[in-house]
Amino acid sequence: MKKYRTFIKDCIPPIILRCIRRITNKKNFENEYASWDEALAKCSGYEAENILKKVLDATLKVKRGQAIFERDSVLFDEIEYSWPVLSGLMWAAARDNGELNVLDFGGALGSSYFQNRKFLNGLSKICWNVVEQEHFVHAGQAHIQDDTIHFYSSIENCLAKNKPNVALLSAVLPYLPNPYSTLKILMEARVKTIIIDRTPYVNNGVRPIIKIQTVPPIIYTASYPCRFLDERELVFELKKNNYSLVETFTSLDKLDDTATWKGHIFKLDDIK
């Protein structure tokens, strides 16, 4: 059966394979809810063991060189780069003499690190710190952690041992009950560069909305609240805390017509 599937895959043009993968990986958003708690009560959440198992299996294959790229536990035949994010990381390193110390909030088991390590390995010094849920942290420390990539259960624990020059928040702010509380911790820590990616913003300037996102069973079984943010509000919050917007870019995601997925790169203003 495996040989048969491989034969079929080899006969299908790559462009069709990419289209099939995008369709099967599409994540659905349902309804609108008055509050985060109301939506949360109808969701399964991230805590299910089936999610960790699939992410760990996929990440280990990438770490060992048995697969090319992993995102959301799905393996890909080629790396799908976010070039603006990689540019932001390299720009931050260039400003600090080739050294990169990343606080990757909600970074699973290091997906963004493994995605970009081909380029990052050329830096003079790199430290990649993933902040995640406890069960992801335990798995990361047991199976993934090495001299470069480390795992922490809170931003505070990470900051106690590191002085990151970049905070990366990719596809994470929409899934937090209080996203601006997390940003506040990072801004108060005076992290020099904050990169936000894969974040949905409401179209036409309407108020932020909360929906339930359901992951297709082909990936794993899960559902969770997702907040479509107000882009102007986010930029304002960072600006009033002395962060300037360096660049805005379009994210790879396009998952719902009521929102636009974007990324932003902010830098801490020099205080004289």
Lowest mean pLDDT, pick from 101-110, 132-141, 222-231, 252-261 = 252-261
Residue 6 pLDDT exceeds 80: no
Q: Round to whole Å and give the CA distance between 259 and 144.
A: 34
Pick from 219, 216, 217, 131: nearest CA to 167: 131
Residue 9 pLDDT exceeds 90: no
Where does residue 11 rank: exposed (0-12), middle (13-18), buried (19+ CB within 10 A)? exposed
All domains of the chain in start order, with CATH: 24-268 (3.40.50.150)
Instruction: Give the mean pLDDT of 189-207.
Output: 92
Instruction: Give the mean pLDDT of 133-143.
Output: 97
Number of helical H runs and strand E runs in the chain: 10, 12
Residue 136 pLDDT exceeds 80: yes
254 falls in which pLDDT band (50, 70, 90)? confident
Instruction: Give the mean pLDDT of 260-268.
Output: 97
Please report the pLDDT score of residue 28 as a whole number. Answer: 85
pLDDT tens-digit profile of 62-80? 999 999 999 989 999 899 9
Average model confidence (pLDDT) across the chain: 88
What are the φ/ψ torsions at residue 169 (nearest 5 degrees)?
Answer: -125, 90
